[in-house]
Structure 1
Amino acid sequence: MATKEALGLIEKLKEKHGPLLFHQSGGCCDGSSPMCFPESDFIIGDSDVLLGKIGEVPFYMNKKQYEYWKHTQLIIDVVEGRGGMFSLEGPEGVRFLTRSKILPS
């Protein structure tokens, strides 16, 4: 799931960069934020899980991170400020942010 602001930014980035993908590694620092890359610039590995698509863009997460978040609804949002230095939204003065909400059991 993504906010209206996140979907708008995704469309803007697709126009500039072509096909995209998201990856959330689960590492520290920048790795805890969703990173947006040109689809051809990131190699998906055996330790990555496809969670679905947001704005027609695939969203992958590291398996270990998925184990922590598998009982939550993830909502991709946009906030002001700088995010990961390799993520495409950085020059826009904003960053993607993953919000989570625990799902009822």
Structure 2
Amino acid sequence: MTATELRVLATDAALDFIAEIRRDHPDILFHQSGGCCDGSSPMCYPADDYIVGDNDVKLGEIGGVPVYISASQFEVWKHTQLIIDVVPGRGGMFSLDNGRERRFLTRSRLFGGAEACPLAATATSAGA
């Protein structure tokens, strides 16, 4: 995996939406939802309102905002690059995108070939 093959990235629309949300909430974070209903929705929270767990894995940052996923979900998605995008609709009930008539959505692509080999070594736990 090269430096350009990040675990998480964002579309231009998502970066613009992050900047909009940060005008109201300067310090935010994302946590990739593992719930049945919002499984493809990255939840956006004020950083001081969400406790990152010892078993959460930091995938990287988008627009200067950290993105986490639970260790169990990371195990399932460890060969996947997440691409945070924006679509019309309502965000999750407690997510900061709710009520803005747009919401974040996670798209993905599988790492392949030589990209997939070093992936396990690149993940970092929140507690690390």
Q: Which runs of 5+ in 1 are unaligned?
A: none
| Contact residue 44 and residue 97 of structure 2 kept, 8 A | yes
Give 1:72 deviation, angstroms: 1.1
Give 1:43 deviation, angstroms: 0.3
Tell me the TM-score normalised to structure 2 length.
Answer: 0.78
Q: Which runs of 5+ in 2 are unaligned?
A: 1-8, 114-128
Structure 1 pair 8–20 and aligned structure 2 pair: CA distance change class (3 A): same
Would you say 1:36 and 2:44 are equivalent positions? yes
Residue identity opposite 1:56 in structure 2: G
| Greater gyration radius | 2
Residue identity opposite 2:91 in structure 1: G
Aligned to 2:91: 83
RMSD of aligned Cα (Å): 1.1
* Corresponding residue pairs, total: 105
Deviating above 4 A after TM superposition, structure 1's stretches of 4 or more consecutive aligned residues are none
Tell me the TM-score normalised to structure 1 length.
Answer: 0.94
1:30 is paired with a residue whose SS is coil
Aligned to 1:70: 78
Aligned to 1:52: 60
Would you say 1:96 and 2:118 are equivalent positions? no
| Contact residue 40 and residue 107 of structure 2 kept, 8 A | no
| Contact residue 75 and residue 100 of structure 1 kept, 8 A | yes
Aligned to 2:121: none
Aligned to 2:124: none
Aligned to 1:10: 18
